[in-house]
């Protein structure tokens, strides 16, 4: 009996701070989204308890991997990520997953005759719910199994899982694993990932205005006879839906991005290995789509270096200069002081919309200034000059 007195006391105190004594207290009710957040951040769901989704998708850094490794140059953020064993290296630059919730499910658009959407840069996962299962099992990422993930979740989150998905959720490993992925996807669909509060958004709402340089950048970005960037990265207006506001048409293109030799020298891929992008997707058989990757969202682009699917460029200015001068004889990559390297997939690269845009250096710089305005408020401090 004597135990009840302190318990009662603690309960009456904590009641004011709304922690849980009463299980029906609304503050303590777990939702798919709140459970998903815990799972997203939980290292125990990787093979040796060393890595979570957040290790590679850091919420303090626009959901990219901000760690350095042997694919970093100087002190730049690494081109590809280390797995949970601290040894395995991927081959694709970890993309931001801010605004990923607005990428449509993978599909073929009959009207335009184009593949669109899907998760991963080659669309091989239909949507966030399907995607969230993969990193746990990936041999260069979290290196676990469905059984081990479900076991770890059952040990730590049984109450939340059964209250959300019903008392029999752990009867089948498969259904529990799906529930885990669905919870993570619900978290990824939350506002924490997509705040729409960049300077650009404020300008749209009439709460801020672009500088003359940013304005020039926007104009060059849109103009068909200048940057023509908006052909693939459409610029939203006030009437646009959220899906139309992430600066991508979700289609696929081969920009002729140079091979990343540093990454390949470190991750053990054979010298002749070629990443065929969309053509690696089992739904795609058209050889013309070799080397195509999904058009990136440009939200938070100024703070999510390095760039392109293989992290080949460290500066935004270099990316813009690449579009402007890829096919200009004698042009130089400012990061290496050498010519742009050979395209990984040369035969299908887009030569109509980029490569020789004839932009002045003032126009290039203005595009970079415009792109910086697409940074969410909480990441603005990460922008570098």
Nearest Cα to 341, choosing from 353, 331, 354, 356?
331
Q: How far is CA 376 from its chain centroid?
A: 14
Of 153 and 255, the one with the shorter C-beta distance to ligand HEC is 255
Of 141 and 201, the one with the shorter C-beta distance to ligand HEC is 141
Residue span 197-216 as binding mask against ligand HEC, x where in contact by CB under 6 A, dash where not = --------------------
Of 22 and 191, the one with the shorter C-beta distance to ligand HEC is 191
Of 128 and 148, the one with the shorter C-beta distance to ligand HEC is 128
Residue 52's contacts (CB-CB under 8 Å, 6 or more residues apart) are 40, 41, 42, 43, 45, 46
Whether omega for the bond prior to residue 306 falls within 30 degrees of 0, making it cis, is yes
Q: According to CB under 6 A, which one of 78, 161, 179, 319 is a site residue for ligand HEC?
A: 319
CB 228 within 8 A of CB 353: yes
Q: According to CB under 6 A, which one of 102, 177, 193, 307 is a site residue for ligand HEC?
A: 307
**Region of 125-133, 193-201, 237-245, 325-333 interacting with ligand HEC (CB under 6 A):** 125-133
CB 103 within 8 A of CB 117: yes
Q: According to CB under 6 A, which one of 32, 37, 47, 57 is a site residue for ligand HEC?
A: 57
Residue span 228-267 as binding mask against ligand HEC, x where in contact by CB under 6 A, dash where not = xx-xxx-------------------x-x-x----------
Query: CA torsion sign, 343 to 345 to 347 to 348?
Result: negative
Total length of the chain: 385
Taking the complex as a whole, the smallest distance from the CB of residue 317 to ligand HEC amounts, in Å, to: 10
Spatial separation of the C-alpha atoms in residues 270 and 283, rounded to whole Å: 25
Residue 138's contacts (CB-CB under 8 Å, 6 or more residues apart) are 83
180 contributes a contact to ligand HEC by CB under 6 A? no
289 contributes a contact to ligand HEC by CB under 6 A? no
Classify burial at 244, counting beta carbons within 10 Å of its beta carbon; exposed 0-12, middle 13-18, buried 19 or more.
Answer: middle
176 contributes a contact to ligand HEC by CB under 6 A? no
**Contacts to ligand HEC from residues 101-120, by CB under 6 A:** 119-120
Of 32 and 57, the one with the shorter C-beta distance to ligand HEC is 57
**N- to C-terminal Cα separation, the chain:** 66
Q: According to CB under 6 A, which one of 100, 152, 164, 366 is a site residue for ligand HEC?
A: 100
Of 21 and 58, the one with the shorter C-beta distance to ligand HEC is 58
Of 257 and 284, the one with the shorter C-beta distance to ligand HEC is 257
Of 157 and 293, the one with the shorter C-beta distance to ligand HEC is 293
Query: CA torsion sign, 15 to 17 to 20 to 24?
Result: positive
Query: CA torsion sign, 61 to 63 to 67 to 69?
Result: negative
Q: According to CB under 6 A, which one of 62, 77, 79, 128 is a site residue for ligand HEC?
A: 128
CB 186 within 8 A of CB 56: no
Other Cβ atoms closer than 10 A to 7: 10
CB 62 within 8 A of CB 379: yes
Q: According to CB under 6 A, which one of 142, 148, 176, 178 is a site residue for ligand HEC?
A: 142
Q: Which two structure tokens, joined as six digits, stand for 121? A: 């840069």
Spatial separation of the C-alpha atoms in residues 302 and 373, rounded to whole Å: 8
Taking the complex as a whole, the smallest distance from the CB of residue 75 to ligand HEC amounts, in Å, to: 19
**Region of 21-29, 90-98, 152-160, 335-343 interacting with ligand HEC (CB under 6 A):** 90-98
Report the interface residues with ligand HEC, using CB under 6 A.
51, 53, 55-57, 65, 81, 83, 90, 92, 94-95, 97, 100, 119-121, 128, 131-132, 135-136, 141-142, 184, 227-229, 231-233, 253, 255, 257, 293, 295-296, 298, 301, 304, 307-309, 316, 319-320, 323, 350, 353-354, 367
């Amino acid at each position: 009996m004597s135990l009840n007195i302190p318990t009662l006391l603690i309960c009456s105190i904590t009641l004011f701070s709304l922690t849980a004594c009463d299980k029906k207290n609304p503050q303590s009710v777990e939702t798919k989204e709140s459970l998903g957040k815990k799972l997203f951040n939980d290292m125990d769901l990787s093979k040796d308890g060393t890595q979570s989704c957040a290790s590679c998708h850091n919420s303090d850094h626009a959901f990219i991997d901000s760690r350095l490794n042997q694919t970093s140059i100087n002190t730049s953020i690494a081109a590809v990520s280390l797995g949970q064993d601290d040894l395995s290296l991927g081959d694709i630059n970890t993309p931001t997953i801010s605004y990923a919730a607005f990428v449509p499910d993978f599909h073929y658009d009959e009207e335009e005759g184009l593949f669109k959407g899907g998760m991963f840069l080659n669309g091989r996962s239909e949507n966030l719910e399907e995607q969230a299962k993969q990193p746990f099992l990936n041999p260069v990422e979290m290196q676990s199994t469905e059984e081990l993930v479900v076991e770890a979740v059952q040990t730590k989150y049984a109450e939340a899982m059964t209250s959300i998905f019903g008392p029999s959720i752990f009867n089948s490993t498969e259904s529990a694993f799906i529930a885990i992925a669905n919870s993570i996807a619900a978290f990824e669909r939350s506002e924490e990932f997509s705040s729409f509060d960049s300077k650009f958004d404020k300008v749209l709402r009439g709460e801020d205005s672009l500088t003359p340089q940013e304005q020039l950048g926007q104009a060059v970005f849109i103009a068909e006879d200048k940057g023509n960037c908006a052909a693939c990265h459409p610029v939203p207006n006030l009437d646009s839906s959220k899906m139309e506001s992430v600066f991508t048409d979700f289609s696929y293109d081969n920009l002729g991005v140079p091979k990343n030799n540093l990454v390949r020298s470190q991750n053990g891929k054979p010298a002749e290995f070629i990443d065929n992008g969309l053509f690696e997707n089992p739904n795609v058989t058209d050889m013309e789509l070799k080397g195509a990757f999904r058009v990136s969202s440009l939200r938070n682009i100024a703070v999510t270096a390095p760039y392109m699917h293989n992290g080949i460029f460290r500066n935004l200015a270099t990316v813009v200069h690449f579009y402007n001068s890829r096919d200009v004889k004698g042009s130089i990559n400012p990061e290496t002081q050498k010519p742009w390297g050979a395209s990984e997939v040369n035969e299908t690269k887009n030569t109509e919309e980029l490569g020789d845009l004839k932009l002045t250096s003032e126009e290039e710089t203005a595009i970079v200034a415009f792109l910086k305005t697409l940074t969410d408020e909480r990441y603005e401090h990460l922008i570098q000059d």
